Structure 1
Amino acid sequence: MKLNLFTYYPRYIALKMIRLYQKTLSFDHGPMKDIFPGGYCRYNPSCSEYTYQSIEKYGLLKGGGKGFWRIMRCNPWSKGGNDPV
């Protein structure tokens, strides 16, 4: 039970927060998708989806770090492209 408290619940909360962001504020996933029908993110999957998948695969610390690094690389001068987890 103690293991779940420190590993499962923080991961679960982080994943739910990412989904909430995607459904409300994201230009690629939420209601603002109508403004950018082709998508806004240069990468595939989008930065939020990449972070979600990496947290699922690697856990909150390593996956969150990978997601943070991906967000730092996302800028107007980046080439983007397909970048799976």
Structure 2
Amino acid sequence: MVRLYQLARAGRPSACRYWPTCSSYALQALERHGAWRGTGLIVRRLSGCHPWGGWGPDPVPE
């Protein structure tokens, strides 16, 4: 599902406040931590995506 989103957004500028982008973060989190913990990390990341949220580098934890 994330890959489909990335394909649909290809060629458009990113509106993501973080690096890596939220979709790249999601793929990395799922790959490194599996579905259960990865989903928790994704939810935490997306919950900070608002005008008063953070910005800048936010790598997937090891």
Q: Which runs of 5+ in 2 are unaligned?
A: none
The residue identity in structure 2 corresponding to 1:40 is A
* TM-score, structure 2 as length reference: 0.85
* TM-score, structure 1 as length reference: 0.64
Choose between structure 1 and 2: higher helix proportion. Answer: 1
Which structure is higher in RCO with an 8 Å CA cutoff and minimum separation 6? 2
C-alpha root-mean-square deviation of aligned residues, in Å? 1.2
- Give the corresponding residue for 1:78: 53
- Aligned sequence identity (%): 42
The residue identity in structure 1 corresponding to 2:44 is W
On the 8 A contact 2:20/2:58 being kept in 1, the answer is: yes
On the 8 A contact 1:55/1:64 being kept in 2, the answer is: yes
In our comparison, the structure showing a higher alpha carbon Rg is: 1
Match status 1:50 vs 2:34: no
